[in-house]
Amino acid sequence: MKRSLLFSVLISLILFAGCSSLSRYDDNEVAAVVKDQEITVGDLRFLYPDDKALDYLDWAIKVELVKQEVEKMNIEVTDKLNREEDDDWFGQLPPENTEDQGGKQIRKFAEAQAKKLNMKPEEFQKQYAKIINEQNAYMITYLEEKTGIENVDDEAAKDEFNEKSDALLEELVEENKDGIEVLIQ
């Protein structure tokens, strides 16, 4: 319950991130540098549709900052990673004949991304799930550590967690603004 609620909170934060196209950039071009760590156009293209990927650059910067902060704090994220058997549903592509609307959207996204990236949809979904799982682990670890809130079971706790999380992420960006260089718009 806790993991799924935190996952939904994280997805909501992603949706708050800023429709630009990456089609004019090569995958190996650097979109941003975050304290010496590059975020490439390819990194963005893998996770998002080309017409929306630049809208998520600010979110990618926050994720990278969080990852660096968690590593600097020497906090292990292993316990926040979904075990393979727990995460199997997300790493598996829904069947073509699924009636589930969410499953249809996941499949449509995976097929479009796989085609763009010259991959099989099943291979894309597995790699995509692994990246999202890692990002979630770092983000949840950081936000729980900084907010002191680990159990988000009711609406009031969720609201408090979201409010504190938004403020912490903005503060983190502000504190590190000199170490962030955005190279594409």
Task: Kindly tell me if the per-residue pLDDT of 4 is higher than 90.
Answer: no
Candidates 125, 49, 118; CA nearest to 93 is 125
Cβ atoms of 8 and 15 closer than 8 Å: no
- The candidate with the shortest Cα–Cα distance to 12, out of 142, 159, 115, is 159
Average pLDDT value over all residues in the chain: 85
| pLDDT tens figures, 19-54 | 456 778 889 999 999 999 999 999 999 999 988 899
What phi and psi, each to the nearest 5 degrees, are found at residue 53? Answer: -60, -40
Task: Write down the pTM of the prediction.
Answer: 0.81
Residue 76's pLDDT is 87
| pLDDT (0 to 100) of residue 73 | 94
d(Cα 36, Cα 146) in Å, to the nearest integer?
24
Cα separation, 104 vs 145, whole angstroms: 36
